[in-house]
Amino acid sequence: MQTKHPDRILRMNQLAIKVGLSKSMLYALIAEGKFPKGFALTKGGRARGWLESSIDDHLVNLANKEA
């Protein structure tokens, strides 16, 4: 039986490592609407985060489109 862990919030540095792309490439993909935008970590703040599960889902969807 696998235990469900709470979703982690990834910051840009962690996101770039997870998907194997540079931060500048990720920003470009986000601007083109080809990658999830993330969400503000504080109201009015610049810091953004991505739920790890939403990134995992996005990568699975990309892989399925290629198949």
Q: Tell me the pLDDT tens digit for each residue of 10-56.
A: 999 999 999 999 999 999 999 999 999 999 999 999 999 999 999 99
Which residue, among 50, 25, 32, has the nearest Cα to 40 in the 3D structure?
50
Q: What is the structure's pLDDT at 21? A: 98
Q: Establish if 4 belongs to a structural domain.
A: no
**What separation in angstroms does the CA of 36 have from each of 6, 7, 11?**
20, 16, 13
- CA 9 – CA 14 distance, rounded (Å): 9
- Domain containing 61: what range? 9-66
Q: How confident is the model at residue 67 (pLDDT cuts 50, 70, 90)?
A: confident
Q: Establish if 1 belongs to a structural domain.
A: no
Q: What is the structure's pLDDT at 66? A: 80
Which residue, among 28, 29, 18, 20, has the nearest Cα to 56 in the 3D structure?
18
Q: Establish if 3 belongs to a structural domain.
A: no
Q: Establish if 33 belongs to a structural domain.
A: yes
Does residue 5 surpass a pLDDT of 70? no
Q: Establish if 34 belongs to a structural domain.
A: yes
Contact between 9 and 54 under an 8 Å Cβ cutoff? The reply is: no
How many domains would you assign to the chain? Answer: 1
Q: How confident is the model at residue 6 (pLDDT cuts 50, 70, 90)?
A: confident
